[in-house]
Amino acid sequence: MVLSKNDNFWLMPILGLGAVVAGVVLANRRRIGVPDPFADRQLIRKGIDKPTIWLYYNDSDVNSRDWLDFGARSTRVLNLPFLNLCYETILKHNSDKYKIEVIGGLTGLLERLGELPGTLADPRMVVNQPELDWIRAAVLAKYGGLWLTPSAIVRQPFGALPEDKNIFFGTDLDDTIAGPDGTTVPGMRGIWAGRSGHPTFVGMEAAARKRLDEKAGGMQVRNDAKWDYLAFAAQDKDTIVKPHEELGRSGSSGKRLQIEDLLASGTEGNLPFVVGPQVIYTPILMEEITRRRNFGWFLRLSEDQILESDLAVSHLFKEALGKN
């Protein structure tokens, strides 16, 4: 549509009135002490320099039959209601110091890495542990930042982490018992890479890619990621292990925390495990809770139902979200 001169004539008073209204609004904001957001010349760059928390959502395995939720999906962005709550806790305690980046499956991964191994070229490819090992190493090698399992209940901030160190949080939950110094190999659910291109993660990425390219059999049984840690990180001077910041074990006994402990009911806030003051997050092991049929009921709970229940995990969520 082409405007005539007469049309332009009628538009001028409207535009003028809009400018006057905008001026009055800004003047009132200044008068009552509300800052003008447009006065900040660094507005566009805000948050760019923050380190990143990486959350990879494995959508290759999401369908109602496998998740046993009978189609009872949350209407929000993530696939499972308890994952929404986990995301809320991550955001609540860390959005001031970190960018929270969600990687949505292989499609989202391709957008960030530019290329994927041939075995992952099909976005419908089922992503298992060997593929996840490569994904984790590749993201940390290229970007650095904090890799965190998206099924983590974060109860306090990670805070500023050192740029000259790599930190592995938690313990190897395949070990039944852990000593005061953790396990030989730490957990791989929370990992901080102080900078991009660190040799530790470059080496891990290359080793994991080689296994994928060669389609080496038995990878899940061999737990190659643990060998990669021993080969590339264990003796590196930049490596720090913090076993107690992840709640994966119960008290001084070092006994592994089970899904049954997290889903214990009738606790009335008296949890069947100890949450130490140094604990930053509690992982809910996706591979266990989604594969064991007797836990299908938990996957069907909505966010409100989880928060209103008397499950041990519900009290962890409420504490983390300040809803006690």
Quick check: is 104 in a domain?
Answer: yes
Give the residue from 202, 212, 313, 213 showing the smallest Cα distance to 265: 313
Secondary structure (H, E, C), 144-190: CEEEECCCEEECCCCCCCCCCCEEEECCCCCCCECECCECCCCCCCE
pLDDT at 113: 97
Q: Show Cβ contacts of residue 38 under 8 Å, excluding neighbours closer than 6 positions.
A: none
Beta bridge partners of 101: 54
Quick check: is 130 in a domain?
Answer: yes
Quick check: is 154 in a domain?
Answer: yes
Quick check: is 246 in a domain?
Answer: yes
Distance from C-alpha of 274 to C-alpha of 249, rounded to nearest angstrom = 9
Quick check: is 280 in a domain?
Answer: yes
Q: Beta-carbon neighbour count of residue 260 at 10 Å? A: 12
Residue-number span of the structural domain to which 120 is assigned = 52-321
Would you say how long the chain is, in residues? 324
pLDDT at 73: 42
Quick check: is 79 in a domain?
Answer: yes
Task: Provide the CB-side half-sphere exposure for 230 (13 A, CA).
Answer: 9
pLDDT at 71: 43
pLDDT at 68: 44
Distance from C-alpha of 227 to C-alpha of 177, rounded to nearest angstrom = 20
Quick check: is 8 in a domain?
Answer: no
Q: Show Cβ contacts of residue 36 under 8 Å, excluding neighbours closer than 6 positions.
A: 26, 29, 30
Task: Provide the CB-side half-sphere exposure for 244 (13 A, CA).
Answer: 12
The three-state secondary structure class of 242 is strand
pTM: 0.81
Quick check: is 16 in a domain?
Answer: no
252 within 8 A of 276, measured Cβ to Cβ:
no
Task: From first to last of the 324 residues of the chain, give the pLDDT tens digit.
Answer: 444 545 555 556 555 666 665 565 555 555 545 455 445 555 445 567 899 999 999 987 644 334 444 444 443 335 689 999 999 999 999 999 999 999 999 999 999 999 999 989 888 888 999 999 999 999 999 999 999 999 999 999 999 999 999 999 999 999 988 888 899 999 999 999 999 999 999 999 999 999 999 875 555 546 789 999 999 999 999 999 999 999 998 877 788 999 999 999 987 878 989 999 999 999 999 888 888 888 889 999 999 999 999 999 999 999 999 987
- In the chain, how many domains are there? 1
Tens digit of pLDDT for each residue in 71-85? 444 433 356 899 999
Tens digit of pLDDT for each residue in 249-280? 887 778 899 999 999 998 787 898 999 999 99
